[in-house]
């Protein structure tokens, strides 16, 4: 299989997993909210946010596994791959034990830290324990998922993700219809995590048959390699957790559990948007490692420019549609009571999110090249500023203040730090990068953005089906913008496609 075909297959697999996950979450979210109610759903969100925050104990090990296995496998060095995976799994076992201990402590302290109603306190404590156990299982099996990613077997990982999503959703629907609450949801999450982890582990050893796992303590050399790479990955992941997952905790601690629901609804739409782009850009990390190992610097430059451009051409239309039509969408999706507050939170967060998404490609390239130390320091500063500012503004402006506390430092990092940093390590002029990767996609989306603005004012959708039909009607304007600002690239793709069809026809008639 050619590199282009393998790349397309990987992207298709990731997108399939995302579409299924996002589609299920889209229909499942209002179902869960309405069956649990605002307060219970807010408590459930707090539980998930607390445990998600512990995901920083990943320590960057999965990224390190992907980096080392991708490089060693490309060189045929299976012994070094086995040593790296064994060391990561050994470390993960100890991390999982720490997570279980921390989970027990959190379950005891949760009702004292957050404003959780007394009648939900016991269920919340047990839900924390089972959700933490799910995270431990996910991290342990994530080592083997990292191996599959390093081998560009994204399709297999996507299949496991799709199956996990469907099984999880079916269980949630059954449990809530049967009258169960957040504790039953947590238990089911644990069962599904065990099944998915087992699937990833089995697939890993079937695909990479040369892989051998040793449970002995790793030697100092391999541990030092992990520390050198993973320490700053750990800082990045930890800071990212602070940025994206403490907002709900701040709302729960300084406002109320019920207010978490309103904030989480607006924020969840951006989670979906990040997943869309992540499903594309995740494959750039092993690609960058491979290009570096083979000394293909020109390929790295192309990956940066074209990858960033593709990310924005996907993210910008979604972003402008959510900005101009987000409140009415939330009203039709979740209900009238959420439209105003959740819609404002969504619009505020979007101000920085598009720029953050523009740098997803850059982040994966930096990981692949092991050039992420400056990024770690920058994102750590952002996370600390975010947390302090969100707490301060929560007492002044409520849930909107928490959103502004996230946006301001994020904008500074995305606009000031990232362009110069990534252009320096890849060797691309900043002006060329910004024009080719940022400005041209932004200009191409203007006609579609204007249409979304006008339709929100003059073409009100009475239900979701018509809302989506309106978006479909407006999409040709996006295509016009892309053709106008990328006419050379579009023409080249059309000619390439035409020549490919001609060759296939000639082979078929010969």
> Per the domain annotation, does 331 fall within a domain?
no
DSSP 436: I
**Are the CB atoms for 276 and 314 separated by under 8 Å?**
yes
Question: Can you tell me which residue has the tokens 């342990």?
Answer: 140
List the one residue out of 330, 316, 317, 303 whose CA is nearest residue 426.
303
| Count of other CB atoms within 10 angstroms of residue 245 | 19
Are residues 254 and 115 in contact, defined by beta-carbon separation less than 8 angstroms? no
Whole-number Å distance between alpha carbons of 383 and 409 = 8
Residue 385: what pLDDT? 92
Please give the pLDDT value at position 505. Answer: 45
d(CA 210, CA 206): 9
Number of domains in the chain: 1
280 is written with which tokens? 């594309």
DSSP structural state of residue 76: T
Per-residue tokens: 379: 């994102």
Under 8 Å between Cβ of 11 and 279: yes
Query: How many other CB atoms are there within 10 angstroms of residue 372's CB atom?
Result: 23
| 362 lies in some domain | no
Handedness of CA 275, 338, 472, 313 (dihedral sign): negative
- Sequence-ordered list of residues with C-beta below 8 angstroms from that of 138, at least 6 positions apart, any chain: 193, 196, 197
In a domain, 501, yes or no: no
Helix axes 247-254 and 38-53, enclosed angle (nearest 10):
130
- Burial of residue 439, with CB atoms counted within 10 A of its CB: 0-12 exposed, 13-18 middle, 19 or more buried: middle
Show the tokens assigned to 33.
């909210």
Supply 317's token pair: 């239309």
Classify residue 239 as left (phi > 0), alpha (psi -120 to 50) or beta: alpha
- Are the C-beta atoms of residues 265 and 342 closer than 8 Å to each other? yes
Asked whether residue 485 is domain-assigned, the answer is no
Q: Is the dihedral of CA 201, 205, 211, 213 positive or negative?
A: positive
pLDDT value, residue 295: 78
Enclosing H/E stretch for 100: helix 78-113
Q: Does the residue 252 lie in any domain? A: no
Residue 215 lies in a domain: yes
Task: Specify the long-range contacts of residues 434-439, CB closer than 8 Å, at least 24 apart.
Answer: 436/305, 436/309, 437/304, 437/305, 437/308, 437/309, 437/312, 437/358, 438/308, 438/312, 438/358
16 exposure class (CB count in 10 Å sphere: 0-12, 13-18, 19+) = middle
Domain that holds residue 158: 1-245
Residue with token string 């090990």 = 61
Instruction: Please calculate the CA angle 455-460-465 and round it to the nearest 5 degrees.
Output: 100
In a domain, residue 480? The reply is no
Tell me the per-residue pLDDT of 3-42, one tens digit each, with 9 for 90 and over.
555 556 666 666 677 677 767 777 788 888 888 877 888 8
SS3 state at 218: coil
Residue 20 lies in a domain: yes
- The per-residue pLDDT string of the chain (510 residues; one tens digit each, 9 = 90 and over) reads 445 555 566 666 666 776 777 677 777 888 888 888 778 888 878 888 778 777 767 666 776 777 777 777 777 777 877 878 888 888 888 888 888 898 888 888 777 777 777 777 788 888 888 988 988 888 888 888 888 877 777 778 888 888 888 898 899 899 988 888 888 889 998 999 999 989 988 888 888 878 787 777 777 777 776 667 667 777 887 787 777 777 877 888 888 877 888 888 888 888 878 877 877 777 787 778 778 777 788 888 888 898 898 888 888 998 999 999 989 999 988 888 888 889 999 999 988 888 888 888 888 888 788 788 888 888 889 888 988 999 999 988 888 999 999 899 988 888 888 899 999 888 889 999 999 899 999 999 999 999 999 988 888 888 888 898 999 999 999 989 988 888 877 655 555 545 554 555 455 555
Task: State how far the alpha carbon of 143 is from the alpha carbons of 11, 29, 93, 131, 212, in Å.
Answer: 21, 30, 11, 19, 13
| SS3 label, residue 130 | helix
């Amino acid at each position: 299989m050619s590199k282009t075909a393998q790349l397309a297959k990987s992207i298709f697999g990731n997108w399939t997993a995302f579409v299924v996950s996002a589609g299920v979450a889209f229909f499942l979210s209002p179902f869960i909210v309405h069956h649990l109610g605002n307060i219970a759903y807010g408590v459930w969100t707090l539980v998930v946010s607390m445990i998600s925050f512990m995901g920083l104990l990943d320590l960057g090990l999965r990224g390190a596994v992907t980096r080392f296995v991708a490089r060693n496998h490309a060189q045929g060095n299976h012994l070094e791959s086995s040593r790296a995976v064994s060391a990561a799994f050994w470390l993960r076992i100890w991390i999982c034990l720490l997570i279980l201990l921390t989970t027990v402590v959190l379950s005891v302290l949760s009702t004292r830290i957050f404003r959780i109603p007394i009648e939900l306190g016991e269920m919340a404590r047990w839900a924390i324990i089972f959700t933490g156990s799910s995270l431990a299982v996910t991290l342990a099996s994530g080592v083997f998922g990292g191996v599959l990613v390093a081998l560009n077997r994204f399709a297999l990982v996507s299949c496991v993700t799709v199956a996990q999503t469907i099984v999880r959703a079916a269980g949630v629907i059954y449990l809530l219809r049967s009258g169960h609450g957040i504790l039953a949801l947590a238990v089911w999450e644990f069962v599904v995590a065990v099944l998915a982890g087992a699937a990833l582990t089995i697939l890993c050893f079937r695909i990479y048959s040369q892989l051998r796992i040793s449970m002995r303590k790793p030697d100092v050399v391999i541990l030092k390699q992990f520390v050198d790479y993973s320490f700053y990955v750990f800082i990045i992941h930890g800071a990212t957790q602070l940025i994206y997952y403490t907002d709900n905790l701040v709302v729960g601690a300084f406002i109320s559990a019920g207010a978490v629901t309103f904030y989480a609804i607006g924020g969840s739409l951006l989670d979906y948007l990040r997943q869309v782009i992540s499903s594309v850009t995740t494959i750039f990390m092993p690609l960058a490692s491979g290009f570096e190992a083979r000394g293909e610097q020109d390929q790295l430059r192309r990956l940066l420019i074209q990858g960033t451009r593709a990310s924005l051409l996907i993210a910008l239309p979604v972003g402008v549609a959510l900005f101009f039509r987000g409140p009415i969408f939330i009203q039709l999706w979740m209900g009238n009571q959420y439209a105003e507050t959740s819609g404002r939170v969504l619009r505020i967060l979007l101000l920085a999110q598009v720029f953050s998404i523009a740098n997803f490609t850059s982040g994966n390239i930096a990981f692949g090249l092991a050039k992420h130390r400056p990024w770690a320091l920058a994102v750590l500063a952002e996370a600390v500023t975010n947390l302090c500012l969100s707490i301060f503004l929560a007492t002044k402006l409520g849930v909107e203040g928490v959103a502004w506390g996230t946006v301001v430092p994020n904008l500074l990092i995305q606009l000031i730090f990232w362009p110069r940093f990534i252009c320096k390590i890849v060797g691309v002029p900043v002006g060329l990068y910004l024009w080719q990767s940022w400005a041209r996609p932004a200009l191409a989306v203007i006609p579609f953005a204007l249409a979304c603005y006008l339709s929100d004012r003059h073409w009100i959708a009475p239900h979701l089906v018509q809302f989506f039909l309106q978006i479909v009607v407006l999409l040709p304007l996006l295509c016009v913008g892309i053709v106008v600002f990328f006419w050379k690239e579009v023409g080249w793709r059309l000619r390439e496609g035409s020549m490919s069809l001609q060759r296939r026809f000639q082979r078929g008639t010969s």
